[in-house]
Amino acid sequence: MKYEKLAIVGIIISIIFVIIGCTWLSLSAETFDEIAEKFGAKENLIWNPPLPDYEMPGFEGNLLINTIIGIIFTILTFIAAYGIGNLLKSKRVK
């Protein structure tokens, strides 16, 4: 039971991170991107992601939508990791 409580606390902290990340600390000017731009490297996408730069096309800069996307994908990440963990565990049990 104590591990389930841990998961709930973790998800709440994650949601706080998402809210901070989508509002206060949302400006992304990553060192890597700056260096690449300075050196003239060109991105050549082979796959068009549905939510480029963590934003919904047509709603760029909308903090609420960005936060909702962040929260949904944080929960999806949790579910994906949980699923993989269970898959690995169940293989061992068999």
Partner 1 sequence: MHIPDGFLDPWICLMMYAITIIFWIFSFRKTKHILEDKHIPLMSTLTAMFFAAQMMNFPIIGGTTAHLLGGPIIGITLGPYAGLISMTVILLIQALFFGDGGLTTFGANVWNMGIIGVFIPYIICLAIVRIGKNTKSLLIGAFLGALIGDVLAAIFAGIELGISFLSFPYSIQIAVTAMATHHFFIGIGEGIITMIILSILIKNRPDLLELPKATPYWLGEFPKFLISKGGEK
The site for partner 1 (CB under 8 A) is made up of 3-4, 6-7, 9-11, 13-15, 17-18, 20-22, 25-32, 34-36, 39-54, 70, 73-82, 84-86, 88-89, 91-92
In whole angstroms, the minimum distance from the beta carbon of 58 to partner 1 comes to 16
Both tokens of 6, joined, read 């841990």
In whole angstroms, the minimum distance from the beta carbon of 66 to partner 1 comes to 9
- Cα(15)–Cα(8) distance, integer angstroms: 11
In whole angstroms, the minimum distance from the beta carbon of 69 to partner 1 comes to 9
In total, the chain counts a number of residues equal to: 94
Residue whose pair of structure tokens reads 């068009």 in the numeric block? 48
- Cα(54)–Cα(65) distance, integer angstroms: 10
